[in-house]
Each structure stands twice: as structure tokens, then as C-alpha cells.
Amino acid sequence: MTDTRAGKQALRPHAEEAFAEELQALAAADDRPRPERWRLSPWAVSLYLLGGELPGGTVITPKYVGPRRIVEVAVSTLATDRALLLLGVPGTAKTWVSEHLAAAVSGDSTLLVQGTAGTAEEAVRYGWNYAQLLANGPSREALVPSPLMRAMSEGMTARVEELTRIPADVQDSLITILSEKTLPVPELGEEVQAVRGFNLIATANDRDRGVNELSSALRRRFNTVVLPLPESAEAEVDIVSRRVDQIGRSLDLPPAPEGAAEIRRVVTVFRELRDGVTADGRTKLKSPSGTLSTAEAISVVTGGMALAAHFGDGVLSAGDVAAGVLGAVVRDPSTDGVVWQEYLEAVVRERDGWKDFYRACREVSA
């Protein structure tokens, strides 16, 4: 996507820009009832995420590969007055699904609050232009609306990423917004009421439980949808292949064939170490401390493609992904290093057709 002001191409266009043609085709073909201020009907939003073909022949690419019912529950939640919480371990496409839901529902995925340990209440509620505040006192002109305030006043979908990383007292500032659908501004003696079409999508990691765990009062305001890891190796290979291809095109990297041997090997290694057992169920394994998520597999393969393109022959090989696999598995050298060495010697070394991968991993581990 081109920024007309700077004449430069964005490294990662927003979903509503990258998939604008698909969204336009869906809107043109969508004759089903739409909730107020929705760009598409719930049926069309689900089709946008899950993929399919429109009557005119337009192909909608899948944005999420997983159970259909999960997407349907998420979309139907947004059509009610309940907020949506996407929960799952790192790498289960929570942010990806959140962005595409907001793009399909509101046509804008940028009303975003990124949760961190330093997220202040102003990021959730509102802030002030301090020059105007000091000069003229509290006023509408001095108020700086948060993404949530904008979404409330415009009837849009807001997003909060990594909700459980936000301090508990800041989290709880969402309670009034979600229960009363209003945001008081006591400095002005006013309030902002949410108009129809407003809703909130939040994401949180299972692994973050206990960091800043949600209060029961806040959790009750959400309908929670758990995004699982891919059920099968084939599904995970498909997800990795699709995302690597999309990322590779944006970086002008040579394409990796869908289901390429190295992608399958990376996925196999991650799944076996994650599950603590080999794919055939014969050998029990120790699991490392990392999550070894699908997102990390995508990162490893993309890094391998960059190595192959710039320092190799352009063909993804075992040597291109070995260092990335090592870095993903061995997060704690004192414990994960032993797990990795045992896996290399007991599984990789003995597996037919994996000698090149074994040698490459041994070289980077030395």
C-alpha cells in the first residue's frame, strides 16, 4: 500500500488495506442483514476470515485456519453488547484474528491500545494536550481521546492487545466502559456514551495468567473464545506456508513452495518438542521452556528464506533454518540446551531423510 504523502510503500499494510479488494467484493455480494454501522453482515465477516468463493468467482483467502465454530462465536459476540476476549497460548493468531475482525466489521483496525506493563490509564480513557490545558484549563479542545473513546463515539470496533500485561488498576478502568457503555469525563462534567456499533476485542495469553490476572468483575464483561493450537501437522504446515508466502512477498523474498520439506521439518520439530512425544508416539521427549508456537515457526522459516535469498542460492535448505530452530528452542541454555541435544541425538539423528538437518543443527550448536 502506498503512502501518498511520502510516496513510500508500507512494510506491513493494515488488514483493511492489504485485503481491500476482498472486502469490497464481499460488501458488493453481501445481501444479508448487517448490524448498525457494520461494513459487512456477520455471515460475510465469517467468510472473510475463513475463506471461500463468492458467486461471481472472487476467491476469498483464509485469514484463520481453524474450527469454523470459533470464528462464528467470535463474530456473533461482536453483534451483541458483550465484548470479546480472544484467549490462547502465544502464537495462536489472536492478534491476527483481532485485526481482521475489526477490519471486516468497521473497516478500520487501527483503534488499538497495546498492552504493556507501562500502559497508563490515559491510554484506555483519555489524555490531555497539556499546553492547552495549562493555557485555558480543561476543555473539549484540550482533551485527547483514546482509541476506545473514539470507537465509542463513532460506533467502531476497538482493540486491546495483551490485556493481562496491563496493570490491574488500569484494566479495571474498562469495567464502566463495558458495563455502562459510557466513559465519564469528570473534569468537564460530561460523559461519552457509546453509539450502536461500538464493541471491543481484547487478546490475552494463557501463559500470562497470574501476571496481571483479570478481576472477576472484568472477566464477566467478556465472552471468552479460546483459540487452540493447530490440531494437525498438516494444518500447521498450511498456516506457516501461507503466512511465510505473504510475508515473503512483502519483503521481495523468493517464494518457498507450499509444504516445502524445510517448513514441514520445522513444524515437526516444534510440535514434537511442544507435545513431549514424537509424531509416531514411540518416544517420550522433554519439552523446552519456550512455547514453540506457530508464530515462531513462521519467524524461523522467514528468517531462513532471507538467508537463502541473500547468502545462498535462493532455495530454502536445512542450513538456512537450523540457526533459527536452535534460537527458538534453546531459550535457557542451562536446561533447554540439554533438551535440544537429547532430541538431536535420539530423534533427528535416527530419522530417515534428516541427515542434512542433523548436520546443520550440529554445526550451529557447536
Bigger pLDDT: 259 or 179? Answer: 179
User: What CATH number corresponds to the domain at position 72?
Assistant: 3.40.50.300
Q: What is the pLDDT of residues 17-54, one digit of tens each?
A: 999 999 999 999 999 999 999 999 999 999 999 999 99
Last residue of a domain, one of 226, 261, 293: 226
pLDDT of residue 1: 45
Residues 248 and 348 in one domain: yes
Same structural domain, 211 and 241: no
Half-sphere exposure of 127 (CA within 13 A, CB side): 11
Number of structural domains, the chain? 2
Same domain for 355 and 277?
yes
The grid coordinates listed for 203 are: 487478546
Residue 60, in any domain of the structure: no
Residues 284 and 317 both lie in one domain: yes
Give residue 76's pLDDT band: very low, low, confident or very high (50, 70, 90).
Answer: very high
Same-domain check for residues 163 and 240: no
Q: Which of 205, 220, 128, 213 is nearest to 162 (CA)?
A: 205
Report yes or no on 30 lying in a domain.
no
Does 132 lie in the same domain as 73? yes
Say whether pLDDT at 2 is over 70. no
137-154: pLDDT as tens digits = 999 999 999 999 999 999
| 147 and 294 assigned to the same domain | no
265 lies in some domain: yes
Q: Residue written as cell 542451562?
A: 334
Taking the model in full, what pTM does it have? Answer: 0.88
119 lies in the same domain as 217: yes
Three-class DSSP category at 95 = helix
Q: Residue 337: which domain range? A: 233-365
Q: Are residues 243 and 295 in the same domain?
A: yes
Taking the C-alpha atoms of residue 357 and residue 12, their distance in angstroms, rounded to an integer, is 32
Q: Does 254 share its domain with 345?
A: yes
Residue 267: inside a domain: yes
> Quick one: 159 and 82 in the same domain?
yes
Q: Are residues 298 and 194 in the same domain?
A: no
User: Helix or strand or coil: residue 21?
Assistant: helix
